Every structure is written in C-alpha cells, then in structure tokens.
Amino acid sequence: MLQVEELNQYYGSSHTLRNVSLEAPTGAVTALLGRNGVGKTTLLKCLMGVLSTSSGRVLLDGRDVSAMAPHARARIGMAYVPQGREIFPRLTVEENLLMGLASKKNGSSSAIPSDIFDMFPVLKSMLHRRGGDLSGGQQQQLAIGRALAMSPRILILDEPTEGIQPSIIKDIERVIRTLAQRGDMAILLVEQYYDFARDLADRYVVMRRGEVVKSGLGESMEADDVRGYLAV
C-alpha cells in the first residue's frame, strides 16, 4: 500500500500541494482526478522524489520513503510512467525494457519478465526496433512495460491515454485491470479521460488547487458527481 500523509510542496512562494493525504491499496486501482494545473503531476513527482516536499510523509507498505532519492525508491519497487512516456528514442525496445531492470542485479535480456510480452505482444515483435520509430500508442505500451520490468510494488501512471488511439487505450485498460486483479501491486492512475478512470477505479481521489477535495469508492463516482470536478 502507498500512503501519503499531509504532503506540502512549494514552487517559490506558490503553495502547490496543500496537506495532501491519500491511500492507494495493493490490489486496487486508485484514480487521481482533477482539472489541468491542480497539482496531480507535481504530486506524482513528489512521490517519486523528483521534487522535494516541505512537510509530510510518503510510505510504501508502512516504510517511510520520504527522504529517499528517486533511484532508491525505484529500487524498493516504486515504478513511474510519466506523462509523455519519456522512452529512450535511440535505444531499441529491448534496451528500453532493460533500463527497467537497472536497479536489479541481473540486467540480462533473459531477465525481462515474459508476462510483459503476454500483455503487450507488439513489444516482442518489435524487440530490435528503435523506440523512436514506434507509434505513440506503442511507445506508451513500451513505457508501461519498462516500468513493469522491475516487478514493482506500486505502479504510478500519469495520463496513459493521452494522445493514444482508441484500440490501444482498450489494451492498456485491459492490462491495468489484469495487474490490479493479480493483487501484488498498488496502482495509482492520473487520468483526464473520465470514462476510462471510472471503468477502472476501485477508489478515486479528486484534487483542486493543490488539495484533495473529494474521495471515495470508484463505484460511487457517478453518484458523487466526480465528472463535475473535471469540467472546464
């Protein structure tokens, strides 16, 4: 389980995260929602240690990781798929996947978990193609596969459907649902596409102006008018 307790963060004099608290349980999808600019991506970067915080705690399975560097958080099982994918365009698909094993002792290609290719068969067929030559949807699958290569305890996804064709969105939805049902990792999903989030969410959290303003069970999203918090 990922737990965030009273997290605060500043950009200069701007108070960007205000006492943010949430939980993302193992075996469930927690959807983090809100309009653009409310602090969702900032929060994810704080969770991974990319941005510093002024107060609060981040815990993974009860262990306080707040003072850990990003690479140390990755080593203990925190995986992050950033907005925009950020694959290595000049490296092959195989080499990109191996980067996901950088924190492991055995970084050989034989160590790439076979279930990644079961979930994303296109990656196996394009193993020796450069990442930059893949379509946007294929790059997103590669970015998720790279994160999964480390067998994470929590998978953090920042808008995985952005700019992706509908057929691949369905594939990504299926994979996220399968991963949650396996019950060995927590999934924290930031998403602008409301229907995608609603269909996957076991729990939801809504942010506005750097604060958590609403949370509940995924099955309550319609009754709680969560869509209203996303409208422009």
Quick: pLDDT tens for 181-202: 999 999 999 988 899 999 999 9
Q: Let me know if residue 126 belongs to a domain.
A: no
Q: Let me know if residue 210 belongs to a domain.
A: yes
Whether residue 82 is predicted with pLDDT greater than 80 in this model: the reply is yes
Q: Which two tokens stand for residue 108?
A: 């050989």
Q: 31 - beta bridge partners?
A: 189, 204
Q: Let me know if residue 77 belongs to a domain.
A: yes
Are 82 and 51 spatial neighbours (Cβ–Cβ below 8 Å)?
Answer: no
The total domain count for the chain is 1
* R_g (Cα) of the chain, nearest Å: 17
Per-residue pLDDT, 105:
60
Beta strand extents in the chain (DSSP E only): 2-11, 14-24, 29-33, 55-60, 63-64, 78-81, 154-158, 186-190, 203-208, 211-217
% of the chain with per-residue pLDDT over 70 = 96
- The tens digit of pLDDT for each residue in 124-170 reads 999 999 999 999 999 999 999 999 998 999 999 999 998 888 989 99
Per-residue pLDDT, 85:
82
Please give the residue range of the domain that contains residue 169.
2-86+153-226
Q: Let me know if residue 193 belongs to a domain.
A: yes
Does the global pTM surpass 0.95? Answer: no
Q: Which two tokens stand for residue 40?
A: 């969702």
What's the distance, CA 213 to chain centroid? Answer: 21
* Beta carbons within 10 angstroms of residue 128's beta carbon: 9
Q: Let me know if residue 118 belongs to a domain.
A: no
Q: Which two tokens stand for residue 81?
A: 């798929």
What is the CB-side half-sphere exposure of residue 226 using CA atoms within 13 A?
28
Q: Let me know if residue 137 belongs to a domain.
A: no
Mean pLDDT of the chain: 92
Are 139 and 131 spatial neighbours (Cβ–Cβ below 8 Å)?
Answer: yes
Q: Let me know if residue 222 belongs to a domain.
A: yes
Q: Let me know if residue 22 belongs to a domain.
A: yes
* Dihedral over alpha carbons 194, 42, 13, 230 (to 10 degrees): 0
- The tens digit of pLDDT for each residue in 45-71 reads 999 999 999 999 999 999 999 999 999
Q: Which two tokens stand for residue 86?
A: 């950020």
CATH code of 13's domain: 3.40.50.300
